[in-house]
Amino acid sequence: MRWGIFEWLVIIIVLIFMGGYALFVFPPSSFPTNTTVVIPQGEAVRGIATTLSDKRLIISPTLFRILVRVTGGQGSVQAGVYRFNKPIGLFAITNRLLNGQLGVVPIRITFSEGMTTREIGDTLTTRFPNITADGFSKKARQYEGYLFPDTYTFLPNVTTKTVITTMRKNFNIRIASITPQINMSGHSLKSLVIMASLLEREARTLKERRIVAGILWHRISIGMPLQVDAVFGYIFKKQTFSPSLADLKVDSPYNTYTHRGLPPGPISNPGLISLLAAATPIKTAYLYYLTGTNGQMHYAATLAEHNANSVMYLHR
């Protein structure tokens, strides 16, 4: 059987149609998986097409522009951070961009009360590739005490700046609930945050923290060193730390054995309970406290009583 001109034309048309169909439906062979594309607000379609082509998500920028104009109209691509976990064709990509289907699953992360900025940075690096522990620590150090510990939801490509801004805003929102107590405390917000950061590591319940706050504020008022062991974990950059006699003499402005008054800054990021306790201390006759091996708090008015408590509750 010999084909005529008509049959050849039909074959050519079919091949052209199939080729065009393939360009629109099937992804490029070089399509990279798990790719993130950022579409800035106000970006022109031509620029978006170039970005997609450079990322090897599409073969023809021209076809993309035509398809956007035909199906959605110029300027109808939605800005955002798009995630492509698997290869898809031009039609599917265009549809997602026109409808703002980002394909990005936000990540939930929890920061516990009393975490330092260094510990927050270490936690972030395990979940977010754009954040390094050192980079976060350098930028967040000035906000120690004001990054509110809570559960947050961030996009996978979140930046250090966004995390810090979000946690700082949350701090301002959360302390608004105890504004009356803060205003009536007679202390500056900075002093309360520093005190709360100490309480976070020194006691557990609200009542215990209020009693310890009363003791520490009392010590400051009579010029007695705070002698809070929790600062040494901050000084030596360790989560928990039991200072030796030599450690108690370390040359640091945060050493509450060699310097009177509050440390120059917070040693952690306290939660709302500690902030409330710092602002509402319970006045007692006590000047000393310790946590026994069973986790119970024991208080004393004199050094002799405190030493007796130490023997009874720590060394038996």
Per-residue pLDDT tens for 180-190? 999 999 999 99
Q: Which amino acid is at 39?
A: I
On average, the pLDDT of the chain sits at: 87
Mean predicted confidence (pLDDT) in 66-90: 80
Q: 79 or 124: which carries more pLDDT confidence?
A: 124
- The residues pairing with 107 across neighbouring beta strands, listed in sequence order, are 154
Mean predicted confidence (pLDDT) in 16-31: 60
- Per the CB < 8 A criterion, the answer to whether 311 and 303 are in contact is no
Nearest alpha-carbon partner for 230 in 208, 258, 255: 255
Q: How confident is the model at residue 26 (pLDDT cuts 50, 70, 90)?
A: low
What's the CA gap between 89 and 94, in Å, rounded? 9
- Per the CB < 8 A criterion, the answer to whether 289 and 212 are in contact is yes
Per-residue confidence (pLDDT) for residue 36, from 0 to 100:
82
Checking if the pLDDT of 82 tops 90, the result is no
CA 184 to chain centre: 31
Domain ranges in the chain with CATH number 3.30.1490.480? 5-99
- Per the CB < 8 A criterion, the answer to whether 270 and 199 are in contact is yes
Of 82-91, 117-126, 143-152, 205-214, the least confident:
82-91
Q: 132 or 239: which carries more pLDDT confidence?
A: 132
User: At the topology level of CATH, where does 5-99 sit?
Assistant: Dna Ligase; domain 1 (3.30.1490)
Per-residue confidence (pLDDT) for residue 8, from 0 to 100:
41
DSSP 204: S
Per-residue confidence (pLDDT) for residue 3, from 0 to 100:
41
SS3 at position 291 = strand
C-alpha torsion angle, residues 117, 118, 122, 124 (rounded to 10)? 20
Q: How confident is the model at residue 23 (pLDDT cuts 50, 70, 90)?
A: low
Q: pLDDT, tens digit, for every residue of 33-60?
A: 888 888 888 888 889 989 998 989 888 8
- Per the CB < 8 A criterion, the answer to whether 210 and 299 are in contact is no
Checking if the pLDDT of 289 tops 50, the result is yes
Query: What ranges make up the beta strands (E) of the chain?
Result: 35-39, 80-84, 107-110, 151-154, 288-291, 297-300
Of 25-29, 81-85, 192-196, the range with the highest mean pLDDT is: 192-196
Could you give the count of Cα atoms lying within 13 Å of 213 in the half-sphere of its Cβ?
Answer: 28
